[in-house]
């Protein structure tokens, strides 16, 4: 498989599918700002403002904006627009000719920046503090995985592609899935799609999850002839799970699937506590990046990492001449 590793070296692939909060452009909100006429008053004004008007939801903003040029005025945030109802503002001793200018509106970043890109965009508006999340930065860097790891991932995805090809040959939806235990690199279950057969819920991912349960003596579905294809290695639990009454979960496991999962499959992966999902090509109503981002949905008790674009071309090609286009 050496050729696979070398090919596409320069092409971007394995893109992390992150929560929108990391990707959104900077949103702004209006605040009242005054100009300080004399720098020596800074400390006094600053103390008064931080007591009277703490920047509750805007603590990422620096209170003062100074300019590089020497004689430029200092600008200081008074408060957000909501706080400054007419009355409160009147009681303020600002607008005094000697110390402060009349307050005026300025657009400032509404949220703390979470990525370097957001930070650089935010400071175009107003100075902000920025605490870089090392993990997110690493994910965005493009070097999150080692060469050796990506090679392994490609190998697993290639197996899913083989299964998808098999499904295609049988006029089934050309989607394949593989569950792997990354700690041992062992394949736990492999499947292909069969939703247009006898059972509309037999999506590749749902079958794969059931096969995994089956490998532990569980499982819910019976499969037809194609079952011979599905790999269910008989093995003892490697997880030291001594409570046999608990469901067998995908904790710590990776899923490789050629097509972005639908919302049913994406939620089945939440229930099964999968660790990471790698998919090849996006789907029109996909739930892991296209229409929804269920893996980072707020309110749910489990989240998982998602990477897309692994062997994307190969996965896309599977759908050539396919009328279903799910």
191, 202 contact by CB (below 8 A): no
Phi, psi at 43, each rounded to 5°? -60, -45
Site stretch for another protein (CB under 8 A), options 96-104, 170-178, 266-274, 310-318:
266-274
Edge-to-edge, what's the strand order for the sheet holding 305-308? 15-16, 305-308, 276-281, 254-259, 176-181, 186-192
Phi, psi at 99, each rounded to 5°? -110, -50
Site stretch for another protein (CB under 8 A), options 47-55, 178-186, 191-199, 312-320:
191-199
| Beta-bridge partners for 308 | 15, 279
Which of 152/295 has CB closer to another protein? 295
Which of 62/199 has CB closer to another protein? 199
Cα–Cα–Cα angle for 154, 151, 137, nearest 5°? 95
Which partner in Zn ion, another protein, none is near 80 (CB below 5 to 8 A by kind)?
A: none
Site stretch for another protein (CB under 8 A), options 118-126, 138-146, 179-187, 201-209:
201-209
Which partner in Zn ion, another protein, none is near 196 (CB below 5 to 8 A by kind)?
A: none
Which of 143/323 has CB closer to another protein? 323
**Residue selected from 37, 155, 271, 303 as contacting another protein according to rule CB under 8 A:** 271
Q: Please state, in angstroms and rounded to a whole number, the distance separating the CA atoms of residues 188 and 178.
A: 8
323 contacts another protein (rule: CB under 8 A): no
Least distance (Å) between residue 271 CB and Zn ion: 8
Which of 43/246 has CB closer to another protein? 246
**Parallel/antiparallel/unpaired status of strands 64-65 and 104-109:** unpaired
One symbol per residue from 274 to 303: x for binding another protein (CB under 8 A), - otherwise; what is it? ---------xxx-----xx-x--x-xxx--
201 contacts another protein (rule: CB under 8 A): yes
306 contacts another protein (rule: CB under 8 A): no
Which of 188/262 has CB closer to Zn ion? 262
Phi, psi at 304, each rounded to 5°? -140, 165
Question: Which of 145, 123, 141 has its CA nearest to residue 62?
Answer: 123
- The token duo for 37 is 């006429």
DSSP class of residue 225 equals G
60, 111 contact by CB (below 8 A): yes
Which of 108/274 has CB closer to another protein? 274
The number of helix segments (H) and strand segments (E) in the chain equals 9, 10
Binding residues for another protein (CB under 8 A): 195, 198-201, 206, 209-210, 213, 216-221, 243, 245-249, 262-265, 267-268, 270-273, 283-285, 291-292, 294, 297, 299-301, 325-326
């Amino acid at each position: 498989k050496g050729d696979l590793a070398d090919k596409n070296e320069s092409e971007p692939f394995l893109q992390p599918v992150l929560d929108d909060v990391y990707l959104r452009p900077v949103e702004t909100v209006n605040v009242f700002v005054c100009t300080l006429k004399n720098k020596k008053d800074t400390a006094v004004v600053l103390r008064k403002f931080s007591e009277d008007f703490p920047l509750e939801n805007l603590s990422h903003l620096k209170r003062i904006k100074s300019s590089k040029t020497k004689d430029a005025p200092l600008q200081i945030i008074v408060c957000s627009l909501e706080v400054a109802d007419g009355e409160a503002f009147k009681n303020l001793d600002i607008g005094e000719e000697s110390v402060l200018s009349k307050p005026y509106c300025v657009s400032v970043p509404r949220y703390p920046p979470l990525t370097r890109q957001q930070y650089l965009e935010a400071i175009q508006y107003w100075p902000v503090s920025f605490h870089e999340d090392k993990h997110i930065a690493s994910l965005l860097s493009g070097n999150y995985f080692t060469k050796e790891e990506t090679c392994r991932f490609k190998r697993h995805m290639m197996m899913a592609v083989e299964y998808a090809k098999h499904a295609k040959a049988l006029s089934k939806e050309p989607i394949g899935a593989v569950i792997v235990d990354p700690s041992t690199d062992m394949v736990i279950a492999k499947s292909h799609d069969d939703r247009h057969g006898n059972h509309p819920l037999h999506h590749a991912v749902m079958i794969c999850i059931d096969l995994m349960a089956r490998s532990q003596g569980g499982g819910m579905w019976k499969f037809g002839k194609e079952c011979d294809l599905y790999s269910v290695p008989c093995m003892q639990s490697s997880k030291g799970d001594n409570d046999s009454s608990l469901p067998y979960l995908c904790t710590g496991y990776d899923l490789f699937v050629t097509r972005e999962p639908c919302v049913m499959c994406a939620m089945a992966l939440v229930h099964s506590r999968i660790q990471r999902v790698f998919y090849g090509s996006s789907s029109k109503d996909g739930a892991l990046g296209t229409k929804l981002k269920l893996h980072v949905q707020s309110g749910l008790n489990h989240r998982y990492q998602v990477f897309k674009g692994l062997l994307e071309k190969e996965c896309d090609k599977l759908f050539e001449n396919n009328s279903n286009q799910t």
